[in-house]
Structure 1
Amino acid sequence: MNQLTWKYVKPLGTELAIEQFESSYNVKLPLDLVAVFKQYNGGRPDKKGFNTSVKKDRVLKTLLSFNEGDLETIYKAYDVLKPEDDKLIPFASDPAGNYICYQVTDESIVFWEHETNTKEKIADSFTEFLRGLY
C-alpha cells in the first residue's frame, strides 16, 4: 500500500466509538475501514487526490470522526445522507461538502455529489481506495 502520512488525527473518545455507531445505525463497516479509523480517526492524509469512474482529480479533505462532539462527524454526515440513500455510509468528505462513502449493497467505495444526489464509483474496497490516493 502506498504509505500515507496522517495529520490532525483525533483519537477515538472511547474504544467502542465505532461499535457504538454501528449499533446505533444497525450497520456493519468493513474491517479494513475500521482498522484505519481506530488509528487515524478524523485525520487528513498527505495524498489527497483520487479518480472516480466519471471524473479525475477529485480531492479528499478529511476522514470523518466517530467522536460525536467533533466538527465533522460520521453521525452528522450519515443523518444528512440517509434520507437520500440509506445504503451509503459516508466516511470522508471533500472540500465542497460531498462525501466519500461505503456502499453497503456491493461493499464498494463511491463518491456522493450532494448537489445532484449522484454517485460515482471509486473502488471495489476501502483498501483499494486508499491504495489509489495520489
Structure 2
Amino acid sequence: MSKLTWKYVKPLKDNESVEGFEALNDVQLPKDITDCIKQNNGGRPDKKVFDTDVSEGRVMKSLLSFNKDDLETVYDAIDVLKNERKSLVPIASDPSGNYICYNLIHKDIVFWLHETNITEKVSDSFTTFLNGLYVE
C-alpha cells in the first residue's frame, strides 16, 4: 500500500462511532474503510488526485468525520444521499460538494456527482482507491 500522510485528522470522540453509524443506518462497511476512518477520521491525504472510469484529475478533499458535531460529517452527507441514492454510503468529499462513496449493491467505490446524481466508478475497493491516489 502506498503510504499516505494525513493532515487535520479529528480523533473519534467515541471508539464506537463507526459501529454506531453503521447500526443507525443499517449498513456494513468493509474493514479497510472502517480501519482508515478510525485512524484518519476527517483527515486530508497528501496525495489527493484520482481518476474514475470516465474522468481524470478528480480531487479528494477529506474523509468525512464520524463525530456528529464536526463540520463535514458522514451524517450530513448521508442525509443528502438518502433522497438521491440509498445504495451509497459517503466516505469522503471533494471541494465541490460531490462524494466518494461505498456502493452497497456493487461493493465498490464510486464518485457521486451532486448536480447530476450520476456516479462514476473509481475502484473495486477502498484500499485500491487509496493506493491509486496521486499528486498532480
TM-score by length of 1: 0.99
Question: Residue 52 in 1 paired to residue 73 in 2?
Answer: no
What is the distance in 2 between the residues matched to 1:88 and 1:58? 19
Distance 1:84 1:112 in 2: 10
CA distance in 2: counterparts of 1:55 and 1:119, whole angstroms = 11
Q: Is the partner of 1:121 in helix, strand or coil?
A: strand
Sequence identity (%): 60
**CA-based RMSD:** 0.4
Structure 1 residue 60 displacement after superposition: 0.2
Show the counterpart of 2:65.
65
Structure 2 partner of 1:36:
36
Amino acid at match of 2:23: S
Pairwise CA distance, 1:57: 0.3
What are the within-5 Å matches in structure 2 for residues 93-108 of structure 1? 93-108=93-108
What are the ranges of 5 or more consecutive residues in structure 1 without an aligned counterpart? none
In structure 2, how many angstroms separate the alpha carbons of the residues matched to 1:81 and 1:118? 12
TM norm structure 2: 0.98
CA–CA distance in structure 1, aligned partners of residues 64 and 99 of structure 2? 10
Query: Pairwise mapping of residues 74-89 of structure 1 onto structure 2 (< 5 A)?
Result: 74-89=74-89
User: d(CA) in 1 for partners of 2:27 and 2:38?
Assistant: 17
Deviations 1:95-126 (A, max 9, x none): 00000000000110000000000000000000
Residues 23-48 of structure 1 show CA distances to partners (whole Å, capped at 9, x for unaligned) of 10111010000001110000000000
Q: Distance in 2 between matches of 1:104 and 1:34?
A: 14
> Any runs of at least 4 consecutive aligned residues in structure 1 with deviations exceeding 6 A, and if so which?
none
Q: Match of 2:75, as an amino acid?
A: Y
- 1:11 corresponds in structure 2 to 11
Paired AA for residue 79 in structure 1: D
- How many aligned positions are there? 134
Q: Partner of 2:90: helix, strand, or coil?
A: strand
Aligned to 2:20: 20
